[in-house]
Amino acid sequence: MGLMPVTDAMFLIPESREQPMHVGSLQLFTPPDGAGPEYLTELYLAALRAPAVAPAFGRRPHRSLTTAGQWTWVDDAKSIDLEHHVRHSALPPPGRIRELLALVSRLHGTLLDRHRPLWEAHLIEGLEDGRFAVYTKLHHSLMDGVSALRLQERSLSTDPSLRDVPMPFEPRPRKAKPRTSAGLTSLPGAALQTAWDLTTLTPRLLKLAESTVREQTAAMPMQAPRSILNVPITGSRRFAAESWSIDRIRAVGKAAGATVNDVVLAMSSSALRDYLLSMDALPSSPLIAMTPVSLREEGDESGGNAVGTILCNLATDLDDAEARLLAIHSSMQAGKAGLASLSPMQVTAVSALVMAPLLLGSVPGGSLAPPAYNLVISNVPGPKEPLYWNGARLVGNYPLSIPLNGQALNITVTSYAGSMQFGLTGCRRTVPHLQRLLVGLEDGLAALEKAFATT
């Protein structure tokens, strides 16, 4: 299938037992009226009868002497073992959310088998309130978070009466892409465009750095302080999840002249500040978050990875909730302004420079380097309407992401049907009592509502 794109291979190279490189999601469903006790078993058996899998779900990574040690994709679609990839589980009594999160934490801490296509889907029953859950995980080399979320959306329906809905891993008709204009669309032309993008990058970076120093708003690489989050990690994971009304968050943003994402970052900043203060471990300098931004054009449903990065000053050194949000807003505005003048290729190059110090943490002795940033906080827009899977209503959709060596905590948020759904994934040893951050998120939002008088 040819050599693997470097934007995909970069997620295979640093993977280790301590650092699995897959993303995931936890979906909660309410069964349809009249569903019997065998409802989930029937869905599981139907999944095993799927006649085919989509290309991304049928390929596995491979490298050898014949590939000169480079990663390639091998097509295993015709020999795929769905009983390995799709699994049926049940929670122990009493079947609370606590038991569900404990199971998902364990599942998310195990490596995917590189001798098979890199994905799993777990159908989980036994919740005391009658709901069931689906936990899925996909290797980040297969697709980024935006692609994974779009795939989930296409696998569900806004029609609760629809049945026989294809599984997410089944193939779907591809939309025809519009033809591009002539010129730099040929391979030589693309190469010339890439070369031009990179040669014009340095002056723009210098200009951005100059304005940043002058205005002191945008966060820059190597500004992040050392913290208890930026240490070597283990492979064991802990996951916590909760949702908040998007109307509450939007009201704060409107009153402050900020975006919904700014408020999400401010909630996270407040939770982190309270959490680190409780452990007497809050750095005197503000924590820095890396916030991914999608480079995908509207309607692009291809796999792979297309993500840029902005560094955000979380202002955790400030005690006042209003001041923190305004500082975060200014930092994000400066970061976006810096990317606005760059092409997607240049954004990718800048993002690689931002992530380079982090990759050093994956090699022996790399932990001596200062942190490039303290954690990743990602916000992926999701569906606005309620969705259904074979009549079962999706009532929760919580993302799981990747803690990295030197980056022990990840906060990923997605919107769904009027709520913002937070998923916190951390190293079980390095980030103890992770669930306390959920309390901090609520306290942070309440403090912002009070500061901007939105309640």
What does the angle CA 332 – CA 335 – CA 339 come to, to the nearest 5 degrees? Answer: 135
| Contacts of 59-65 spanning 24+ positions with Cβ under 8 A | 59/1, 59/117, 60/114, 60/115, 60/116, 60/117, 60/118, 61/4, 61/12, 61/114, 61/118, 61/141
Query: What whole-number distance in Å separates Cα of residue 406 and Cα of residue 279?
Result: 19
User: What's the gap between Cα 331 and its chain centre?
Assistant: 21
Contact 159, 388 (CB under 8 A): yes
Query: What whole-number distance in Å separates Cα of residue 263 and Cα of residue 251?
Result: 10
Q: How is 39-58 classified by DSSP, letter by letter? A: HHHHHHHHHHT-S---GGGS
Q: How is 286-321 classified by DSSP, letter by letter? A: PPEEEEEEE-PPTT----B--EEEEEEE--TT---H
Written as one letter, the residue type at 61 is P
Query: What whole-number distance in Å separates Cα of residue 127 and Cα of residue 94?
Result: 8
Active-site entry in 85, 140, 329, 433: 140
Q: At what angle do helices 187-199 and 201-215 cross, to 10 degrees?
A: 30
Q: What is the CA radius of gyration of the chain?
A: 22
Query: What whole-number distance in Å separates Cα of residue 396 and Cα of residue 124?
Result: 14
Please indicate whether residue 22 is annotated as part of the active site.
no
- Please identify which residue in the block is written with the tokens 């940033």: 373
Query: What whole-number distance in Å separates Cα of residue 197 and Cα of residue 202?
Result: 10
Of 63, 61, 73, 65, nearest to 1 by C-alpha is: 73
Pick left, alpha or beta for residue 356 (phi over 0 → left; psi -120 to 50 → alpha; otherwise beta): alpha
E strands of 126-236, at which residues?
132-139
* Burial class of 156 by CB neighbour count within 10 A (0 to 12, 13 to 18, 19+): buried
Query: CB under 8 Å to 379, separation ≥6 — which residues?
Result: 260, 261, 264, 291, 412, 413, 414
List, by residue number, the catalytic residues.
140
